[in-house]
Amino acid sequence: AAGVIQSPRHLIKEKRETATLKCYPIPRHDTVYWYQQGPGQDPQFLISFYEKMQSDKGSIPDRFSAQQFSDYHSELNMSSLELGDSALYFCASRHRGGVGKNIQYFGAGTRLSVL
């Protein structure tokens, strides 16, 4: 079965650079979530989209922005990168009208390292 696809898997950037992370949800899933997991930490919710509109906003810095496109894929844009942005970034998708209520399915993540 198709899963959530994230690219790239690894990304190395320098301070003050920009980065773009991509997420392709499971087909027919209409909601996408972004989470950030720092070293030894639990995943923290950043932002979500439902039917291409921002749905919820969590602890996303102002330097970050995201959007969901007409094909339902989503991109997380990160600017003025800081050392503290080094983390695993997970995307999850969900079918809002699905039987499985709020089961979110996660991608393998993008490991961002800011040097």
Give the nearest distance from C-beta 8 to another protein in angstroms: 14
Give the nearest distance from C-beta 78 to another protein in angstroms: 19
Q: With respect to another protein, which residue has the nearer C-beta, 45 or 52? A: 45
Sign (positive or negative) of CA dihedral 106, 65, 54, 56:
positive
Q: With respect to another protein, which residue has the nearer C-beta, 24 or 94? A: 94
Give the nearest distance from C-beta 39 to another protein in angstroms: 12
- Applying CB under 8 A, which residues contact another protein? 4, 6, 31, 33, 35, 41-45, 48, 55-56, 58, 90, 92, 94, 100-109
Cα separation, 90 vs 28, whole angstroms: 19
